[in-house]
Amino acid sequence: MKKQHVQLGENDRQYLESLIATGELPVKVYRRALALLELDRGKTYTTVAETLNVSNHTVSSLAKDYGERALLCLHDRTRSGRPVEINGTQRAKVTALACSDPPQGHARWTLRLLADQAVELGHCEHISHTKVQEILKKTNSSRI
């Protein structure tokens, strides 16, 4: 008798089938959903891994994750790490500031002057001149 690695509930099976039928999924989610459906049909880890061109470990990890988190396993867990301090709006304000006229007494903007001015205007709580350089490097700005 074959061992069934994953046993989906009726609601989960219907949800996964409708999800795959939409065709508007990221590849990761599509593969995970398809793998769960194939495992539910009684296919082995090796067969599913070959079908999806992934490793056996990936398939077995997905099966284990389904047992722990149900359908949340379709999506990656949140990752630890340093949170974003400067968001897109703040970046745009720093870029706009760099494109504006420099303050009186200065012929042009410097990175340190931009960083100080961005904090002074309240665009962000704190920003270093190197962060300003990173922001402006990603634009086509040649003001500095």
More reliable by pLDDT, 24 or 92: 92
Domain limits, the chain: 10-74, 88-137
Query: Residues 6 or more apart from 127 whose CB is under 8 A from it?
Result: 86, 94, 115, 118, 119
For 83-87, what is the mean pLDDT? 81
The answer, yes or no, to whether residue 114 has pLDDT greater than 90, is yes
Take residue 27 and report the two structure tokens written for it. Answer: 């590849």
State residue 84's pLDDT score. Answer: 76
- C-alpha–C-alpha distance, residues 113 and 143, integer Å: 13
Contact by Cβ (8 Å): 33, 13: no
State residue 2's pLDDT score. Answer: 56
- C-alpha–C-alpha distance, residues 88 and 70, integer Å: 34
- C-alpha–C-alpha distance, residues 72 and 101, integer Å: 50
Please name the residue ranges forming H helices in the chain.
Answer: 10-22, 27-40, 45-52, 56-69, 88-99, 111-120, 129-137
- With cut-offs at 50, 70 and 90, classify the pLDDT of residue 111: very high
pTM of the model: 0.57
State residue 142's pLDDT score. Answer: 55
